[in-house]
Amino acid sequence: MAKAEIKQKGFFDKAMDFIEKIGNAMPDPVSLFIILAVVVVILSAILGSIGYGAVHPGTGKTIQVVNLLTKDGFRDMYSKAVANYSNFAPLGMVMVCIIGAAVAEKSGFLVTMMKQVMGDAKSWMVTFAILFVAINANLAGDAGYIVMPPLAAVIYMGMGRSPVLGMIVAYAGCAGGFSANIMLGMTDALAYGFTESAARMIDPNYQATMAINWYFLIVSCILLAVFGTLLTEKFLVKRFPTTKEDLLKYNFDESEGQITEAQKRGLKWAVIGLVIFVIALVAACIGDDPLLADPKTHSVMTNGSPFMNGIILTVTVALFVVGACYGFGCGKYKNDRDLFADITLGFKDMAGYIFMCFFIAQFTSYFAWSNLGIVMAIKGAEALKAMEFTGAPLLIGLIFVSCLVNILIGSASAKWAILAPIFVPMLMLMGFDPAVTQVSYRIGDSITNPLSPLFPYCPVILGFVRRYAPEMGLGSVIANMVPFSVTFTVIWIIQLLVWIFLDIPLGPGGGIFLN
């Protein structure tokens, strides 16, 4: 029987198995980041000692690799270890989000809500909905990486499917579809700022808006969700067979989807609580000088406003409110001790991730101190420029350079600060609008997110997955992300080529070619 099953495997499954096998052969993530940290220190010593560096295209300053294997380097590594850990941004975001997410999940709210909302919806519709919401989750900042995977896990269990697959689908949407969006957000504003300054190197009067890629990215949302759904339903579902015994092992109550009177009462309380919270939030965001507005601009949507800076807290409080109201409404919580016990369990579930973050924080700090990422990114961009590609091939080349740089540098603004001064002027001289250069960069900035073990939220998804499948390693997670990254790459490149061929506007004020 086993031999027959092996023979029936096609190329897709064999390739996935091979990638998973290679990936799982790697050390435990903690050991991996320790090894990477050591490699960074050694590389910094070798390259720093010979004065290896590059000229930053945006500032004109020479950036050299810093040797960390010195007395000063050792002192920094030793004295700043705790600060590196406490300042590691994803850790703080996850810790805050756990407070609300744990209550929403462990109170039973998410399961009951899923039963109520999804009903008898077809599986492909549910998958499409998860992907579409996940792709647009960057509107809530980094909260999507923390909220969407557990939610998708519960939804998939309600369909009798593997919660691990649900998490993979949600994470692929959040990370791989990061640049796509049906609404404008902070990523658009950040990218456009660097694009405009780079374009003015050629045309001092250049001016557009942050919406220059909007039409293209709206269509991208739909295309990525559609083809991601096809990939999941046709290929990935069969790789995660799930039985009723598995669901019982996950402590999931599959009582034919029926909702009890107590659960209905809990949902009513949750809705009332959410409405009150939303009213309070809106009240804090409207008026001549809103409470959550930027004191200078009086706008809540300005980068740096209390509202924008507090998106993570907003999501956390919303989840806490609906979870707590549901728990008390249905009788799950009798007092505050019951409520806080569930929050404690939520932190317990993420203990492995919290431990892992100490070593990730050291690695990312060493990498930043050494300047290795910036220097390698500049060298990569210069190498593409030296190939003297023109037209569409150059744009596709920019996509792949962006993919590689994305693995080296986590910050989207830092990457574009390096690449924009090189490629925006170069392509303007070839007749291309800065908008098409920016969108090419943003495509590459998304598609390798799910594949990179250095991506800040890769350890987060691994921690979530291990709650249901402790045996799964980093290789298993990355192997199941490969199909999404490949699919998204192909779809996005085809979409870009169609836009170029038909000369379709990328967004308001953003064309393909300069007039």
pLDDT at 1 over 60: no
Predicted confidence band of residue 76 (pLDDT cuts 50, 70, 90): very high
Largest interatomic CA distance in the chain: 73
Distance CA 173, CA 180 (A): 10
pLDDT at 8 over 70: no
Q: Write down the pLDDT at residue 3.
A: 45
Burial 482-495 (b: 16+ CB within 10 A, else e): bbbbebbbebbbeb
Q: Write down the pLDDT at residue 172.
A: 96
pLDDT at 4 over 70: no
Report the candidate in 6, 34, 16 with the shortest Cα–Cα distance to residue 475. Answer: 16
Q: Write down the pLDDT at residue 214.
A: 92
pLDDT at 453 over 80: no
Q: Write down the pLDDT at residue 248.
A: 62
pLDDT at 154 over 90: no
- 62 - beta bridge partners? 55
Distance CA 251, CA 245 (A): 10
DSSP string, 416-482: HHHHHHHHHHHHHHTTB-HHHHHHHHHHHHHHTGGG-TTSTTHHHHHHHHHHH-TT--HHHHHHHHH
Backbone angles phi, psi at 432, to 5 degrees: -90, 140
Q: Write down the pLDDT at residue 31.
A: 87
Q: What is the residue type of 351?
A: A
pLDDT at 5 over 60: no
Question: What tokens were used for 169?
Answer: 């689908």
- List the single range of 126-135, 358-367, 380-389 with lowest mean pLDDT: 380-389
Contacts of 56 (CB under 8 A, 6+ apart): 62, 63, 374, 378, 418
Pairing of strands 62-64, 53-55: antiparallel
Q: Write down the pLDDT at residue 264.
A: 92
Q: Write down the pLDDT at residue 251.
A: 59
Q: Write down the pLDDT at residue 236.
A: 92
Distance CA 453, CA 478 (A): 8
Question: What tokens were used for 362?
Answer: 């050291």
Distance CA 271, CA 261 (A): 15
- Predicted TM-score (pTM) of the model is 0.79
Question: What tokens were used for 298?
Answer: 């009086």
Distance CA 447, CA 442 (A): 9
Question: H-helix or E-strand containing 153?
Answer: helix 143-158
Q: Write down the pLDDT at residue 416.
A: 85
For the segment 271-329, what is each residue's pLDDT rounded down to a tens digit?
A: 999 999 999 999 999 988 899 988 888 888 776 788 878 888 898 899 999 999 999 99
Residue, of 373 and 513, whose pLDDT is higher: 513
Contacts of 107 (CB under 8 A, 6+ apart): 266, 323, 324, 326, 327, 330, 332, 333, 342
Residues recorded for the chain = 515
Query: What average pLDDT score do residues 199-212 get?
Result: 87
**Average model confidence (pLDDT) for the chain?**
86
Distance CA 495, CA 489 (A): 10
Q: Write down the pLDDT at residue 305.
A: 83
For the segment 493-507, what is each residue's pLDDT rounded down to a tens digit?
A: 999 999 999 999 999
Q: Write down the pLDDT at residue 2.
A: 43
For the segment 158-189, what is each residue's pLDDT rounded down to a tens digit?
A: 788 899 999 999 999 999 999 898 987 777 87
Query: What average pLDDT score do residues 90-104 get?
Result: 87
- List the single range of 264-278, 320-334, 371-385 with lowest mean pLDDT: 371-385
Report the candidate in 369, 349, 335, 293 with the shortest Cα–Cα distance to residue 462. Answer: 349
Query: pLDDT > 90: what percent of the chain?
Result: 42
For the segment 388-443, what is each residue's pLDDT rounded down to a tens digit?
A: 777 888 899 999 989 988 887 766 667 888 888 888 888 888 889 999 999 999 99
Q: Write down the pLDDT at residue 246.
A: 64
Contacts of 11 (CB under 8 A, 6+ apart): none
